Amino acid sequence: MSGETKGRVLIAEDDALVCELIAALVEHQGYQVVGTARDGYDAVEAVGR
């Protein structure tokens, strides 16, 4: 991989272990995880920042 990312991702998941797994898989595919949220409400708030 050239070090460039395909895009930026915000993960919304309430289970911390599942969230970590998703983040690892997404990063392995070349995306940058810019944050996590426990639910959709927190995700929408995070996107607004």
What does the H/E/C string look like for 1-49? CCCCCCCEEEEECCCHHHHHHHHHHHHHCCCEEEEEECCHHHHHHHHHC
Q: pTM of the predicted model, to two decimals?
A: 0.82
pLDDT given for residue 4 in this prediction:
86
pLDDT given for residue 32 in this prediction:
98
Question: Which residues of the chain, if any, have pLDDT below 70?
Answer: 1-2
